[in-house]
Chain A
Amino acid sequence: MNTVLSRANSLFAFSLSVMAALTFGCFITTAFKDRRVPVDVHVAKVMLKNIDDFTGPRERSDLGFITFDLSADILWSPIFDWNVKQLFLYLSAEYATKSNSLNQVVLWDKIVLRGENTKLNLKDMKSKYFFFDDGNGLRLEKHTVGLIFLQQKKSTFNSGTLVFAFPCSFFFGFL
């Protein structure tokens, strides 16, 4: 503390420690919040084709087409706070086949930044990505139960990533 440099050193170190404590406080104030948001998901059209899958095993695989309606109000909910900068939403279909007990296919996603319009109101949306099965599981399981839910991941610049899911139980069948 007797020279300018040693004072600058201790000042800087103290400031960094205080900043780390503040960041931890920011994490603590937001870590135990309930961020679940009600989401309405409906599937309008369901189609199934059996075509060549050139991306994978070069065999005929099941390709599902669905259109869905989705509405959720994220702004209304307490999702965005001072520890959330952006949201990664994705809609995934889960189903079981004979070869795999759990299949997850992401059909659609969206990134929402803080301050953007976060009222989602999608009508008759086509899925953004192909709903390819890695075989013929979509057809074989006649009453495939699909559970679609919207997951929200928050990424922050200071406290890591938290994942949570709210199952919006929803069923559809491929006939």
Chain B
Amino acid sequence: MLSIFKTIPTHMDYKGQKLAEQIFQGIILVSAMVGFVYGLIIEQFGWTVYIVMAGFAVSCVMTLPPWPMYRQNPLSWQPAIPEVSGESSQKPQEGLKKKKHK
């Protein structure tokens, strides 16, 4: 069961995060302007609020889940360097820890 959950990607890359922020800001600003004009015309501020809330909902759906469009630019990590000797890297740490305890 847990392996199924681990296969679901939950991250956004850096460009995807920037894109998500731009998208929700754009949607909310546009809905705010539309709602303001509409509310001004029909003289009901409640409709302005409703339209902004609709924009909020739409941008929630658009940007909260990490859709694949936000994962188009993955970071190119260096390939993992195979460890030459596991003992040499672990031993000094243990030694440090022991010293600190003393």
Q: Name A residues whose Cβ lies closer than 8 Å to a Cβ of B.
A: 1-4, 7-8, 10-12, 14-15, 18-19, 21-23, 25-26, 29, 80-83, 158
Interchain CB contact under 8 A, A4 and B65: yes
**CB < 8 Å neighbour of B45 from A4, A7, A158:** A158
Residue of A23, A80, A82 near B40 (CB, 8 A) is A82
Assembled-state Cα–Cα distance A23/B35 (Å): 11
Residues of chain A within 8 A of B21, CB atoms compared:
1, 10
Residues of B within 8 A of A10 (CB): 21, 24
| A-B CB contact pairs (8 Å), 8 listed | A4-B10, A11-B63, A12-B56, A15-B52, A19-B32, A22-B49, A26-B45, A83-B45
User: Do residues A2 and B48 form an inter-chain contact, with CB atoms below 8 A?
Assistant: no
Q: How far is the CA of A7 from the CA of B24 in the complex (A)?
A: 10
Instruction: For A15, list chain B residues within 8 Å (CB).
Output: 28, 52, 55-56
Nearest chain-B residue to A23 (Cβ)? B45
Give, as a whole number of angstroms, the nearest-CB distance from B57 to chain A. Answer: 10
Which residue of the partner chain, among A22, A81, A83, contacts B35 with CB atoms under 8 Å?
A22
Measured between beta carbons, the chain A residues less than 8 angstroms from B12 are 1-2
Tell me the complex Cα distance, A83–B39, Å.
Answer: 10
B60 → chain A closest CB, angstroms = 6
In the complex, what distance in Å separates the CA atom of A2 from the CA atom of B63? Answer: 11
Whether A18 pairs with B52 at a CB distance below 8 angstroms is yes
Closest to B47 in A: A82
Chain A residues in 8 Å Cβ range of B25: 14
* With A14-B24, A14-B28, A18-B52: A7-B64 Cβ-Cβ less than 8 Å: yes
* B residues less than 8 Å from A8 (CB atoms): 60, 64
User: Which interface residue of A21, A26, A82 has the most chain B CB atoms within 10 A?
Assistant: A82
